[in-house]
Structure 1
Amino acid sequence: MLVAAPYVPETLAQKLRDQGLWFVGSLGNAYIEMPGEILIYTTGKRPARWQPPNASWMSAQGAKVLFQLLILGSRVHATYRDIVRNTGVSLGMVSKIITSLLGRGVISPRARGVYEIVEPHRLLEMWSDAYALKLRPKISLGRFRSLYGADFARMFKETSKAEMKSVVIGGEYAADKLTGYLRAGLVSLYVPPDRVRAVLGVLRLAPSSEGNIELYEAFAKRLTMPRSRKWPPLAHPVLVYAELLATDDPRCGEAARRLKERYLPWIQ
């Protein structure tokens, strides 16, 4: 069975795929799979007239709070002040965003400083939208190229942990390492503001509009998985998922699905 529609949002796309229903949308979102022969899975393309909701969470600050909730899992143990410390978002804004999420039925209070995420997939979609439309443009530091081209593994091998202190690796490179599905053509580096100049020098990066290395300002104290000791340090799957959906590459849509299934199984 093939479902045809003008616009297939990401939430519906996942449900249709889970049911084994093929779909195509006039914007390019599609799912067609014949095991061993063909796989097409593209999501995240929105109508040109689509406007983000005028809500507190649809902002750079809101994205930081949504990310913080998602990385804490299905049952969030965090007071407003905990979220403030980890995100740098003001107490008033945190209160406003949490109140909005409670009103929308996305999260539910269980005790003081304890919330249950009752609509995890909806929250993940909200985060992905806020990241792509609001947060990412604000924290972008530009595109760069290195002497190593697309050999990112060698680039990281040639640097020490001390030289890459506090830098977190995301993008297609992180997705490849986490799922083994993508052959990375791009890598994202999340760098603390006071480390940007040092990292540019250590990696010998040169500005380039066609570069395959994207630099971003680190937007939270913790961007990796808890207790992760991998080298180089990879971004949390919640962040990598949003990065993948922010592209128009069909491979990235499939990689995002695999990433969610493997590392975020509680999100349905």
Structure 2
Amino acid sequence: MNMTKDEIILREAFDALAENTGIQASYRLMSFKSDHRLDAEVQIIINDTVLRFAADVKRELRNYHLRELPQTVSDLPLMFVADRLFPAVKEELRREKISYLDTAGNIFIQHRQIYVWIEGNRKMQGEKKQSVNRAFTKQGLKVVFLFLCQNHMINMPYRKISDLAGVALGNIPLIMEGLREAQYLLHLNDQDFILNRKKALLHRWIEAYRDILRPSLHLGNFKSTTPDLFKERLMTGNIENAVAGGEVAAEMITHYLNAEIYTVYTTQTSKEFMVKNRLIPDEKGNIQLYEKFWDNYSKDGRVPELLVYADLLITDEPRCLETAEILYEKQLKHEFE
């Protein structure tokens, strides 16, 4: 039986914990009615004491994840189980007394007179790679983006999905299978599907978009000799074959953020865009140009709200994270919760 990505992370973490410390742990995948973003109930035995946690399982934990979840769910304390935890995130978790475990066997628990803090373990090199889920490859992410923006597309003919996402037809069945294996698609009846665990899928998409798809779309950074005019043109939809993303789009939607970085998605080449808009290449320039990877559902000269949200979270900048929360509450929450 194929394991889900959550099960893979949990088993690797528990195996490393047992190998390094002798501490035994087990899990049970389940849904929490009080918070559907949580994934499993975890049981850890330390000195004959059984500790139970509600676990949020992630490939990688970022600062914005910490802003979303309460420390307790009913009578269970929260634990993050992740493949990768950054030092600054671990420090923040310890400060808030939130338990964590990673797949190298590093662990922190401060609960019911039990205090455990083990750090410094590294994952063994040369471990066997798990098979890649095709839903979270470059092509798969384009399809998932289509589904997240237009849920009904999951039940369209594969050729229609292929055409709208700009992905080869032969990839679509593999991408659909990847979503089913990860439990993000559920059968509604014999023919139709519905998206499952939509907020978890959203954040899985954002993480993979940041690491896999977005870097491949980057066409370069630029600066303008008339930055205020460029921003005005971008916000009013007066730049040919281009739409605003990131901070500029967030300013357009929320009127809360004063954009400093101008993220632009375009169907033009970088040279065409640079020449037509009289820009100067600059590695540290505040105009960040990306290839537009979707079709037919931009809004009022800007990218869809979902991509604005992703662009903001990816920055890890406090002012952008705050705006992302406002955007989510006003524009996205009703779709994902």
Which letter maps to 1:185?
E
Residues 3-39 of structure 1, C-alpha deviation per residue, up to 9 Å, x if partnerless?
xxxx6675564122999xxxxx9524869xxxxxxxx
Q: Within 5 A, what are the aligned runs for 1:20-99?
A: 27-28=88-89, 54-73=132-151, 76-99=154-177
State the SS of the aligned residue for 1:214.
Answer: strand
Greater strand percent: which structure?
Answer: 2
CA distance in 2 between counterparts of 1:169 and 1:112 reads 40
Closer, same or farther in 2 for the Cα pair 1:213/1:250, shift >3 Å? same
Q: Which has the higher contact order (CA 8 A, sep 6+)?
A: 1
Q: How many residues align?
A: 236
- Aligned-residue offset at 1:76: 4.3
Distance 1:67 1:267, change over 3 A: same
After the TM superposition, which residues 215-226 of structure 1 pair with which residues of structure 2 at under 5 Å, given as runs? Answer: 215-224=289-298
Q: Which residue of the other structure, out of 64, 67, 70, is the alignment partner of 1:16? A: 70
List per-residue Cα deviations over 1:167-187 (Å, max 9, x = no partner): 121011101111222111111
Residue equivalent to 1:181: 256
Equivalent of residue 171 in structure 1, options 246, 251, 266: 246
Letter in 1 for 2:259: A
Task: Tell me what 1:204 maps to.
Answer: 278
Larger radius of gyration: 2
Aligned to 1:253: 321
Given residue 267 of structure 1, which amino acid in structure 2 is its aligned partner? Answer: F
2 CA distance for matches of 1:119 and 1:160? 35
* In 1: Cα distance, 2:144 partner to 2:188 partner: 18
Report if the CA contact (8 A) 2:63-2:89 is conserved.
no
User: Is residue 184–residue 197 contact of structure 2 (8 Å, CA) maintained in 1?
Assistant: yes
SS of 1:145's equivalent in the other structure is: strand
Give 2:296's aligned amino acid: R
Paired residues for 1:223-234 under 5 Å: 223-224=297-298, 228=299, 230=300, 233-234=301-302
- Structure 2 counterpart of 1:144: 222
Moved more, 165-174 or 132-141: 165-174
Q: Shift in Å at residue 148 of structure 1?
A: 2.0
Query: How far apart are the structure 2 equivalents of 1:71 and 1:217?
Result: 18
Matches within 5 A, 1:112-123: 114-123=192-201
User: Structure 1 pair 12/156, CA: closer, same or farther in 2 (3 Å)?
Assistant: closer
Q: Provide the residue aligned with 1:40 in structure 2.
A: none
Residue identity in the other structure for 1:240: V
CA shift, 1:119, in A, is 0.8
TM value normalised by structure 2: 0.60
Residue aligned with 2:88, SS: coil
For 2:72 and 2:246, how far apart are their aligned partners in 1? 25
SS at match of 2:135: coil
In structure 2, the residue matched to 1:34 is none
Displacement of 1:134:
0.6
2:21 corresponds in structure 1 to none
Kindly provide the amino acid, as one letter, of the partner of residue 171 in structure 1: G
Structure 1 residue ranges without an equivalent (≥5): 1-6, 20-24, 32-46
* Moved >6 Å (runs of 4+): 49-53
Q: Secondary structure in 1 aligned to 2:289? A: strand
Cα gap change, 1:9/1:91 in structure 2, threshold over 3 Å: closer, same or farther?
farther
Deviations 1:111-143 (A, max 9, x none): 587431121101101210121001111011010
Identify which of 166, 178, 181 aligns with 1:100: 178
Do the aligned residues in 2 keep the contact of 1:78 with 1:114 (CA within 8 Å)?
no
Structure 1 pair 165/149, CA: closer, same or farther in 2 (3 Å)?
A: closer
Fraction of identical pairs, as percent: 29
Change (3 A) 1:198 1:11: same
Cα separation, 1, equivalents of 2:179 and 2:163: 20
